Chain A
């Protein structure tokens, strides 16, 4: 069961919202229903899986803030259903809604929304006080949450004594202290300056690895969306125009609007090694001898080969001159010949993090999966070429490109 589900959710502000929704459902445009009300969210449907980070991205006025406020019942949908687990929150009483907010869904706000007259610790403990947790327990749990966000030692300060980034950490600690599975983050980092914002994003990703919360994150910043989101919903004028992973949205934008939006994205922050890697040209298993290795290199017209175990675990790189020397010396163990000069990257590594290993060596950077097996390589030229093609036309890059063409590239480079 998804942690959170929206089904055909509408929100119309104005005098006759019901009528406006009926007309919108019948196909009327936002302009047509203006006399009845202003449509903020139109027919939004999506599911957020347990432990997923779901980003809703759109410019201001696209309805994303209204949408997130319907997920915890701060606004009631004009039409449609919002499900938290198996509870339909549009139909429950105020008391049940408050219990749900205490136990299931917490929120982080754009401008932090801290109580200025209460200490950092009391702010973090605020949701626990509402849950009637006793004082010692509440201070302990709030203290833990503050430590998680790196604010240990600041418990007795007032929010006004902290910088913006630190205040938002208090906001985050407050939401974490609440102990809910679902975290709604409304433009949580948008009020912070870029460096701090980046830092907070990293921290959130780090926390998310251990906590595994279900997060709905609202932002107007596409880079932030791509960086944080497992999946992204792009909103425009109240409608969700596309839902997909950042790579899907980059490589296959659903509309011209999305295409335009993603045109200036820094793709090295989004695309992973797996999406540009190619088949390695020369691979030698540890059982083979120097002669086999040399033949492999000759056939691939490469000056080096990757040495792997029988299960393709990467052992190292063989250079042609080393192998020739070994052949002259009459040695036949290849493992002793390997060099550690090439750093392997994982399939999940972002392209921006492949540049450094790539710069260290003229050889292609090996890509390994989570068990250390060689699954591909990224020659420097492929990296550069992928980048330039991306910049020119985002639709041409994809992980499942024609292997034959890629092989050609590899040989050329490793020769």
Chain B
């Protein structure tokens, strides 16, 4: 086919690149082929979410709040613990505690799964330039595709409820886990890795004893990013009926209810700050980060 015939096809007003149709057909095909797999994913996600949510919601509010504040105390100190406690009281005060805990459960489950996939992917990508080159555009796609767009096929596959929200969140939050892990491992001083080889260590032991510990501060920054992205996506997944703060935000939006929107939004901010401070405090507590802060005696 000559160039002119291609341009004539493309400029024909009746022509349209049927990309959407193909994706449509692809999704249908997926459901037909992997129906069993999707059922399994649904069961696992629902199970995980409900287990975590039960733990967070069943005890009285003040016990959960004290435990969370206690974690903040262990991770950083009494100031963060006090701040967290005040924040949780505010959340309770605007009657968003139940929603906040549902959102927290979604974030924890989605982040855990995103990290369980992302960190090994990052390790793999760090060990091979080819894998790294193949993974990078996929990550770009996952991270920059507008978040709402994920929801559409996910809803078709998993219908409404927490599961499509979780799946969309995992996909959206996966990228920084992979990226930071790869970056962290690649940044490890090559001479130290070489020392591992020179004394006769195996690649697996070098990964465990040298690369991962030295990359840990960077990996923890990735963990922090994964959790933050999860939280932002969990709110968006309120659109597809995922429980939690997102649902109130969405309903406030549709009813132009400023006060409800603000209250739910504030609860999101408090949750975000809590998760962010805890994970950055944990990053600072990694042995390597601590060792590097120690100066000459």
Contacts and interface: CB of A to CB of B under 8 A. Distances in A.
B191 A116 contact: no
A107 B296 contact: no
B55 to A, nearest CB: 33
B214 A116 contact: yes
Nearest to B209: A115
A101 B297 contact: no
B218 to A, nearest CB: 14
Interface stretch (B35-43, B76-84, B199-207): B199-207
Contacts, number: 78
B199 A111 contact: no
Interface stretch (B140-148, B243-251, B285-293): B285-293
A116 B293 CA distance: 10
A117 B297 CA distance: 16
B95 interface: no
A107 B297 contact: no
Contact of A157 (B195, B214, B297): B297
Interface in A60-100: 72, 74, 97-100
Given A98-B201, A161-B296, A107 B287 contact: no
Contacts of B295: 160-161
Nearest to A126: B199
Interface residues of B, number: 25
Interface in A132-160: 157-160
A97 B45 CA distance: 46
Given A160-B295, A161-B294, A110 B198 contact: no
Interface string B189-219: 1011011011111100100011001100000
A390 interface: no
Contacts of A163: 296
Interface in A158-204: 158-163, 174, 178, 184
Contact of A102 (B194, B200, B297): B200
B213 A117 contact: yes
A102 B199 contact: yes
A109 interface: yes
A178 B199 CA distance: 8
A251 interface: no
B294 A74 contact: no
Nearest to A117: B287
Contact of A109 (B191, B202, B209, B297): B191
A74 B197 contact: yes
Contacts of A174: 199
Given A72-B198, A98-B200, A113-B195, A160 B213 contact: no
Interface size band for A: 20 to 34
Contacts of B197: 74, 101
A108 to B, nearest CB: 9
Nearest to A111: B191
Nearest to A116: B291
A17 interface: no
A229 interface: no
B271 to A, nearest CB: 32
Among A103, A105, A160, the one with the most B-chain Cβ atoms within 10 Å of its Cβ is A160
B205 to A, nearest CB: 7
B294 A115 contact: no
Contacts of B290: 117
A114 interface: yes
Interface in B144-171: none
Contacts of A117: 213-214, 287-288, 290-291
A115 B192 contact: yes
A414 interface: no
B199 A161 contact: no
A2 to B, nearest CB: 21
Interface of A: 72, 74, 97-103, 105-107, 109-111, 113-117, 126-127, 130-131, 157-163, 174, 178, 184
The 3 closest A-B pairs by CB, nearest first: A102-B200, A101-B200, A113-B195
Given A98-B201, A107-B199, A184-B198, 19 more contacts: A74-B194, A98-B202, A109-B195, A110-B191, A114-B195, A115-B210, A115-B214, A116-B214, A116-B291, A116-B292, A117-B290, A130-B199, A130-B200, A130-B205, A158-B291, A160-B294, A161-B294, A163-B296, A174-B199
22 contacts: A74-B194, A74-B198, A98-B200, A98-B202, A99-B200, A101-B198, A102-B200, A107-B195, A107-B199, A113-B192, A115-B214, A116-B292, A117-B213, A117-B214, A117-B287, A127-B199, A130-B199, A130-B200, A157-B297, A160-B292, A160-B294, A184-B198
